[in-house]
Chain A
């Protein structure tokens, strides 16, 4: 058991969490002193994390991991030693893999006591970022223990990110004393928060229900290809609205505390291809992997063999390695290797396709082809279909996976694929039509949309709906899917 049993930890849309935020905000805005505000954040962070543990001992591994990272960062700060760098990366990675109990390392004797592992993945990214940047000289000012703790264990980003860069966090944190909530900030914050709660509690939960229903019926269904496509699509949409709802909530609350957290999504359902998809989906994660894995791989290869003809193929290789590892990071079992393979292959094939098409058609003709309506719709649908299929690795066990593939056969797989592509294609066209319609409708609304009283009524209505949702969903609160990764 990785998380302490029997503990009702703070869910982001629970009254307990909202009470913590409300009390925190009152205290935070009581005094305009930097030290006071830092201390309020410290108390909030500790209280939030403590809600995951039954006893302080449950938090010991997490604290030990943080201290290990801090020690290496302190050494890197005082001397630029290659040995310290290599040892630091190796030991942090080892500690991470050990604490997450990767099934590859089942032969090891794991620590028997239950302990809190929530947040560890995101703490790992933050610690490594500070460590690498300190070693490379990009972080000159020394980091204090309080700063390190408040950054790594920020209650807003603790469970599932976003992975904010330390430099950006520090810049905002230093300005905390001057933060004041204006009407505009409050409107923006509550709009984001209510959006998030609705996405999480309503849309994501509806897709979860649909997904569970399809999953249960897929075993006995005579149209397995249709139920598989339906379940895959529902899971994908459930995941998207769940994670993007979570993001809306933390970004919104961040506004109230003076933090501008980085966004994780940029209309991913609109992605033109798989390469484009990863610059729009879980952006802070792919940015981290780009900076600290993809770039060094490409850099090492191009430094060694700087031939422009080879560079695109270095990309194919580096995309595969980066996204294979990024996929594996999501979980500790064999199925996550399959997920990683899907991601890595998807990126590599997409890059390879681009290279070959450019060579075959020439830059200009390939660009023209990519602009064609039907090509774009097909490419968008294929992208989302591929990702939805890759996600199967997150909800199917290996036995079920091979059983379903066996029962589907080649014809069934192609039928599922076709259905996926068709459905997503239709959704795209419909979505485009709705957007065009809404744009016209907005023009008609004109100034009303901008007026303060309209905004206040609009917001009040949403807050009431959200409170009703919260009351009705107290019995079964939707879980944060990314919190489990």
Chain B
């Protein structure tokens, strides 16, 4: 991974963190790569889609059904956004 990749990832993480805080209405949330639905109580199927819609708006991307289905953790979400 080059330095610019690392910087890009960091910037995405910061923007994504704000999205998480807004969607789950919790300013204390600090995301990390291994974070999954297990780590946030309200993160169920419904909130997952709400999160996806918020992410799509923030990053101006469209995620398809297969991409949404295979997002296993926050790290995977960041990688997906980095590659778009």
Contact = CB atoms under 8 A, between A and B. Distances in A.
Given A299-B52, A303-B53, A311 B46 contact: yes
Given A133-B64, A138-B66, A138-B67, A367 B41 contact: yes
Contacts of B68: 291, 295
B38 interface: no
B46 A137 contact: no
B49 A291 contact: no
Contacts, number: 60
At the interface, is chain B mostly helix, strand, loop or mixed? Answer: helix
A137 B66 CA distance: 9
A306 B53 contact: yes
B52 A290 contact: no
A133 B41 CA distance: 30
A280 to B, nearest CB: 13
A132 B46 contact: no
Nearest to A364: B41
A311 B25 CA distance: 13
Interface string B35-48: 00000011011110
Nearest to B53: A302
Given A275-B44, A308-B23, A363-B41, A167 B49 contact: no
B6 interface: no
Interface in A285-344: 287, 290-292, 294-296, 298-299, 302-303, 306, 308, 311-312, 314-315, 318
Given A133-B64, A137-B64, A363-B41, A291 B69 contact: yes
B50 interface: yes
Nearest to B48: A295
B49 A302 contact: yes
Contact of B65 (A132, A314, A315): A132
Given A291-B69, A306-B53, A367-B41, A315 B64 contact: no
A136 interface: yes
Contacts of A138: 64-67
A294 B46 CA distance: 9
A292 B68 CA distance: 11
Contacts of A136: 64-66
Interface of A: 132-133, 136-139, 165, 167, 275, 287, 290-292, 294-296, 298-299, 302-303, 306, 308, 311-312, 314-315, 318, 351, 363, 367
